[in-house]
Structure 1
Amino acid sequence: MTKIIELTNLQKAFSSQIVLNHIDLAVTKGEIIGLIGPSGAGKSTMIKTMLGMEKADGGSALILKTTMPNREILNKIGYMAQSDALYDSLTGIENLNFFGKMKGVSKSLLPTQIEHVAKVVELDNHLNKLVSGYSGGMKRRLSLAIALLGNPELLILDEPTVGIDPSLRRKIWKELTSIKNEGRTIFITTHVMDEAELTNKVALLLHGNIIAFDTPSNLKNQFHVNTIEEVFLKAEGEKI
């Protein structure tokens, strides 16, 4: 099977704090992989290191068989960071047009794609408003819409549904499932354990290590619990 993400012996530390401790992880084409772990476990650092935004202290990270950063494959990746990187002085649609062009979406296809992603995140009635007037949740939705532009081969989403209500979250996950069914790949971090149940596999990052990586059903059997939330709690040492 085609490996979309390959992490081998990946290491990262800040001063004396080890954040990534010899991480090995492989993500294959057409999967949704959920990365979970407590706040401060290093989930965002793991993403930034494999994308080349942070320099690894050891090991290797390949994205689409390429060491990052690499401009040639950036258009194949849709990345949504934990913090929004938007132009507040522009409207929603101006942001979408700008980033769509940056991602190489053709002029003829861009309006249709913007219409689609705006509907997915329910911003279609707010596109002409300045982003400076958006709420935090609306900014998250716009960031997700931007990541979806260009039908990227790989989506890397860092807590994309923070501040989003449950009904819209369900709609977004329906879209993510459709993307997976098209043979594209999604790597997503989340604190919403119900979302982790919807992935093909869950990786649990704790104390710098991937202590578990398997399907949700297998993890629940392994930890003798009924939910991924209970897997999470039991792995942290909580009594269930």
Structure 2
Amino acid sequence: MEVASRTDKPNGKDVVIDVHGLTKSFDGRTVVRNLSMQVQRGQIYGFLGPNGSGKTTTIRMLCGLLTPDEGTGTCLGYDILTETDKIKRLVGYMTQRFSLYQDLSVRENLEFVARVYGIPQPVAAARAAIKRLRLGGREEQLAGELSGGWKQRLALGACTLPNPQLLLLDEPTAGVDPKARREFWNEIHALAAEGLTVLVSTHYMDEAERCHEIAYIAYGELLTRGTVEEVIAQAHLTTYTVTASDGDNLAPLGEELAKLPGIDMVAPFGASLHVSGRDGAALETAIAPYRERKALAFTRSEPSLEDVFIDLMGKAKDNFQ
């Protein structure tokens, strides 16, 4: 295939996206600043960060849907500045908002999409998508009557019908129940195993942990990237879980600890607190007086991905300010 032959292969692996120094501004405000990254074929690459941090803008620049103000790169072997039309033909894009026809049935929507893309035998193609996504029995149900999980499954079927080489998912499971989310992600992993590359933005930590690699973007800056294990290790956080044997509310303690030098993050987790610091010795000094309280237990624990992201958000500068 022409596209595959045009991608670089460092270490024997196809690089589907290879960009350097991407920058984009709107109305004088820099939304993405000097971003560089690579994504390999068959990867599920997760984008995380607060709302307005530039995740969607980044995804659109990576695949040629939005032209950067500065920077260069390729997507699927094509230049993101000069060959965007070629890139767009190979991309499937699933937005947050359900964008199919509410008053058409599941079957009618899929057949319509197949015809728009000129897919041979559109009826058969729609039937195959219904079977693959386990939409059987709902073929004649109107799309507008589907629950959130079934709508997302239908939308996934529609954007993968043209057999794209790159799939963009913008917070695809927002508002979907946990069972439907898990089934959706199982399908994404099946597609990636067949060689489809997936870029996905999400706010869910459990979904981030299902990605092969993740990138954390806050207010236009790429703060960290790598596997989940690498991102946690790069944070260099020392973390303690604090519990109270007498059942006292730990919220006042959390407010008190958060003001101490050496403690960079305090976050409630159920009936406990996660207390973290980037300087282990300084953290130990800060919590030492509290260890003498018999009702409190400080247990050393591994920092979670959520701990890391809360810490990163605390260090990020809001580009609206």
**Secondary structure in 2 aligned to 1:173?**
helix
User: Highest Rg: 1 or 2?
Assistant: 2
In the alignment, structure 1 segments of 5+ residues that lack a partner are: none
**Secondary structure in 2 aligned to 1:100?**
helix
* Pair 1:97-2:111 in alignment: yes
Contact 1:75 1:104 in 2 (8 A): no
Flag the structure with more relative contact order, 1 or 2, with Cα contacts below 8 A and sequence separation at least 6. Answer: 1
Amino acid at match of 1:101: R
CA RMSD in angstroms comes to 2.3
Report the counterpart of residue 143 of structure 1 in structure 2: 155
Q: Which stretch shows the higher mean deviation, 48-57 or 8-17?
A: 48-57
- 1:64-109 deviation line (CA, Å, top 9, x unaligned): 1224574445443221122232223322211111112333433175
Report the counterpart of residue 156 of structure 1 in structure 2: 168
CA pair 95-134 structure 1, distance change in 2 beyond 3 A? same
Contact 1:113 1:150 in 2 (8 A): no
Report the counterpart of residue 208 of structure 1 in structure 2: 220
Q: How does 1:44-63 map to 2 (within 5 A)?
A: 44-63=56-75
CA pair 124-229 structure 1, distance change in 2 beyond 3 A? farther
**Secondary structure in 1 aligned to 2:129?**
helix
Distance 1:208 1:74 in 2: 24
CA pair 70-89 structure 1, distance change in 2 beyond 3 A? farther
Percent identity over the alignment? 33
- 1:136-181 deviation line (CA, Å, top 9, x unaligned): 5543332222123244322111111112211121122222222222
Distance 2:96 2:74 in 1: 21
- Out of 106, 110, 114, the residue aligned to residue 125 of structure 2 is 110
**Secondary structure in 2 aligned to 1:237?**
helix
Contact 1:140 1:162 in 2 (8 A): no
Q: What is the count of residue pairs matched by the alignment? A: 235
CA pair 10-154 structure 1, distance change in 2 beyond 3 A? same
Distance 1:118 1:31 in 2: 21
**Secondary structure in 2 aligned to 1:129?**
coil
Alpha-carbon deviation of 1:40? 1.0
**Secondary structure in 2 aligned to 1:236?**
helix
CA pair 137-169 structure 1, distance change in 2 beyond 3 A? closer
TM-score (norm 2): 0.66
**Secondary structure in 2 aligned to 1:99?**
helix
Distance 2:53 2:97 in 1: 17
Q: How does 1:228-239 map to 2 (within 5 A)?
A: 228-237=305-314
Distance 2:95 2:38 in 1: 21
- Out of 153, 174, 177, the residue aligned to residue 189 of structure 2 is 177
**Secondary structure in 2 aligned to 1:38?**
coil
Report the counterpart of residue 20 of structure 1 in structure 2: 32
Alpha-carbon deviation of 1:2? 1.6
**Secondary structure in 2 aligned to 1:186?**
strand
Q: Which stretch shows the higher mean deviation, 5-14 or 132-141?
A: 132-141
**Secondary structure in 2 aligned to 1:34?**
strand
Contact 2:148 2:176 in 1 (8 A): no
Distance 2:69 2:87 in 1: 23
Distance 1:28 1:226 in 2: 28
Contact 1:194 1:228 in 2 (8 A): no
Amino acid at match of 1:182: E
Report the counterpart of residue 8 of structure 2 in structure 1: none
Distance 1:80 1:186 in 2: 11
- Out of 68, 79, 84, the residue aligned to residue 93 of structure 2 is 79
**Secondary structure in 1 aligned to 2:314?**
coil
TM-score (norm 1): 0.87
